[in-house]
A = this chain, B = another copy of it.
């Protein structure tokens, strides 16, 4: 890819926006050996780019997405597209990740269901979706696959790798796996080892999916499958992404229109939706089943469960011993899924390993999803770390 290609691609939509963007597919025809020992003859990663690669090819920011995220992190796909990419507030011309300066890459992870090869992809051997015959994926597998994409673009080093939640896990893995390739790491709202609580929530979600009679051991039709189980998994997970305080501010105990006007003593006595928070969570569940694959949910949550940087090396400090990049870890006070102490632990281990690392803790009451939300303080941190 050269500047002319990029110029054709990035037809700036309006000032301050990444503009009209187009997803592309990177196809690796080389065999890929997963950490599990299983193999695929090759794979596809769907990705997007924003901004232009400079002549020195040293202005690349790689964005890693979270569990249910994808490659579309900024801009819009068409003029009628009402929803920009998931990190559009952070990434764009003049924004904290300034696409006037940086060439930004984001890819759907290996094992994902938004265009990259994963459980919902067709298995050439059978003509049906892989389902649970797909190889088990780890965060390290995601990073190793992503490296092939980056290499294919003729990039010799990454200025920064940035991401929150599972994206932050990939950021840390990049620093360990390819130490000399990465100059800056910016993990947010993440952990170096998935906690028992985190595994527990993931397991409840998986059980909701796998115990749904429509799951059929992972062999379900494209538009069918365990939609009920996946919706329940998502409803629960959504609660873990926000906070008590933010839910109270957003919904409190407000009733829905119907419920507010019926029932004695202001109660609507029913198991149907009564409270706005119920309506909202049901909507979150419904919306999710239309864009996400249930088997993929099993795989990605399992990848998160397996994430434990210290396990392979004996200690986190030892795991970080190879890191060459500068690291800024960002934690959020109200994040109870990957709480501040887990983010501080990353920073401390880097410092003990003699690395350049700093930690910023932002006071928010928005919970885990704080890394996605509009915050001038966060933008300022990102901007200055990238300078």
- Which residue numbers of A lie inside 8 Å of B, CB to CB? 35-38, 132, 136, 138, 193-197, 199-201, 203-204, 206-208, 210-211, 213, 228, 231-232, 235-236, 239, 243-244, 247-248, 250-253, 263-267, 269, 271, 274-275, 277-278, 281-282, 285, 298, 302, 305-306, 308, 311-312, 336, 339
Contact = CB atoms under 8 A, between A and B. Distances in A.
B277 A200 contact: yes
Nearest to A273: B203
Contact of A281 (B203, B252, B271, B336): B203
A36 B264 contact: yes
Contacts of A136: 267, 269
Main DSSP-derived SS at the A contact region: helix
B201 A239 contact: yes
Copy count, this protein chain: 2
Residue among A132, A193, A203, A210 with max Cβ neighbours from chain B (10 Å) = A203
B239 A197 contact: yes
A287 to B, nearest CB: 15
Nearest to A342: B244
B210 A277 contact: no
Given A228-B211, A236-B204, A267-B306, A247 B132 contact: no
Given A201-B236, A203-B281, 6 more contacts: A36-B264, A36-B269, A193-B253, A206-B271, A207-B282, A208-B232
A340 to B, nearest CB: 12
A277 B203 contact: yes
Nearest to A253: B308
A141 to B, nearest CB: 11
A232 B207 contact: yes
Nearest to A267: B306
Given A247-B197, A253-B308, A306-B267, A278 B203 contact: yes
A200 to B, nearest CB: 5
B308 A278 contact: no
A71 B305 CA distance: 39
Given A132-B271, A197-B248, A252-B196, A204 B336 contact: no
Contacts of A35: 264-265, 267
Nearest to A264: B37
Contacts of A244: 195-197, 336, 339
Given A200-B239, A264-B36, A269-B136, A195 B248 contact: yes
A278 B199 contact: yes
Nearest to A196: B247
Nearest to A308: B253
B305 A275 contact: yes
A255 to B, nearest CB: 11
A194 B253 contact: yes
A194 B254 CA distance: 12
Contacts of A271: 132, 206, 210, 298, 302
